[in-house]
Amino acid sequence: MNKPDNLQRRKLYLTSFCLLATFATTSVSVHAAEPTYSRDIAPILQQKCQSCHNPDGIGPMPLMNFQQVKPFASIIKERTTARMMPPWHNDPTTGIQKFKNDASLSQMQIDSIADWVDAGAPEGNPADLPEPIEITSGAEWKLKAQLGPPDVIIKSSPYDVLANGQDQWWGPDVKFDGMPKDRWLRAAEFKPSFPLGKKVVHHGHAVLVPEGSDGSFGSSIGLARYGVGKSWEMYPEGTGMLVPANGHIAWNLHYFPVGTEVKDDVVEVGLWFYPEGEKPALETRGEQLFRVDGLNGMARGQDILIPPHGYQVLTGTHVLQSPAIIHSYRPHLHMRGKTMSMEAIYPDGRKEVLSQVNKYNHNWQISYMYADDVKPILPKGTVLQFTSVFDNTANNPLNPDPNQWVVFGRRGVDEMSHAWMGMTYINEGQYEQAIAERRAATETLSLKPQE
């Protein structure tokens, strides 16, 4: 083989030099791209964490600046990598995945946090920090920024919450006469007292029993329903709930002691109405209860019987007697609850899993609010099938005692199984119109050039 001449040697030298220079530049770029708190992590925490993790929030520690975050860096990595935080228990592999209130982290965000912690959790340049966000105080209405102050505020009677003990319930009856005439409700917000009320109110309902009504479930109107993780409900544009001017509020408040006595706790509900004289096109009844337990003529919860160190699966089916649009999905189980799925079986026999919450956590009562372009539009005769899975083993981190038999009951250590569905029943004409609009929107989207 011939030896390279001087010209060839020079070319080889220049090629090697360029490769080394490229490698060095790439190394510097990779090093420079290592995530820092100021540039990469602060925006994630600001967007997904600080609404709870602030000095007045329900999070156990504030995460508002580097000094507060750094000591918890490893825990933050652990909880986010396991998708324990932020609380969002929807199965990311099953059913609809577009939500208005998606609190979950993307895989890229999770990886950024992990890489930042592995690099030693550097602060970076404070000049890279995002502008601070304004966090609504727990004493303020969350919907105020969008809708202004409530048109009407209703209040529960005071209740003394014990410092220690089991679950407590308070069901006062309060007169409702805050309006001169019937109005169409646009939004409602459930606001426990601040700061201690937000810690002890686990969930609750404010139900309007209209004047002259017998108070039965079907004749009452659920103005507002609350759970930790779900405090307000705003109906879609053009949708409202008709609220009678007179009646009384039947409160159902579930308290859970947290080690501190709370004297004279009062819960408020704010109501926002459409302008007087304006009638929305669609009428909703708000969140509707779909039971998974105690169907087919059985007493409520009679079929819940979970053995020690065992599991149970329950299935409940409901046939829609008219078309419907589903806005949100909120499973309700207790401490042994693990999974609840919702499947649609259409009149033509097709089946579709709409949603599955596979990491249910009783500490959070999250309402999964579908994005407008994917919310289910279901024809009359659709079967909604709900399936609940209970885990009474030691593998369930929330299980207080896997040695116990578990039956139906109101306490967190007992069990329930139902779903709260934000939905609007519509007629056949409205159904056809909704389907046509969805198809047109889908076709328009498909015609847009891909970026």
One-letter amino acid at 318 equals: H
Weakest mean pLDDT among 20-24, 104-108, 430-434: 20-24
What is the sign, positive or negative, of the torsion defined by CA atoms of 191, 197, 203, 204? negative
Q: Which CATH architecture has domain 287-434?
A: Sandwich (2.60)
| Topology alike, domains 144-279 and 287-434 | yes
Q: What is the pLDDT of residues 393-444, one digit of tens each?
A: 999 999 999 999 999 999 999 999 999 999 999 999 999 999 999 999 888 7
Question: What would the pLDDT profile of 352-399 be if each residue is shown by its tens digit?
Answer: 999 999 999 999 999 999 999 999 999 999 999 999 999 999 999 999
Domain-by-domain residue ranges, the chain? 37-128, 144-279, 287-434
**Region 287-293: what's the mean pLDDT?**
96
Note the pTM of the prediction, 2 decimals.
0.87
Band (184; pLDDT cuts 50, 70, 90): very high
pLDDT at 10: 47
What are the two backbone dihedrals, phi and then psi, of residue 21, each rounded to the nearest 5 degrees?
Answer: -65, -40
Which of 247, 248, 222 has its CA nearest to residue 235?
Answer: 222
Per residue in 191-204, pLDDT tens?
999 989 989 999 99
Say what the pLDDT of residue 450 is: 57
- Residue 45's alpha-carbon distances to 40, 113, 231, 366, in angstroms, are 9, 10, 21, 20
CA angle 189, 301, 170 (to 5 degrees): 40
**Confidence check: pLDDT of 3 > 90:** no
Cis amide prior to 150 (ω within 30 degrees): no
pLDDT higher at 110 or 277: 110
The percent of residues above 90 in pLDDT, for the chain, comes to: 81
Q: What is the mean pLDDT of the chain?
A: 91
Q: What is the CATH number of domain 144-279?
A: 2.60.120.230
Interval 138-152 mean pLDDT: 94
Give the pLDDT band (50/70/90) at residue 446. Answer: low
Res. 17: pLDDT tops 80: no
Task: Check residue 11 and give its pLDDT.
Answer: 46
pLDDT tens readout for residues 223-250: 999 998 899 999 999 999 999 999 999 9
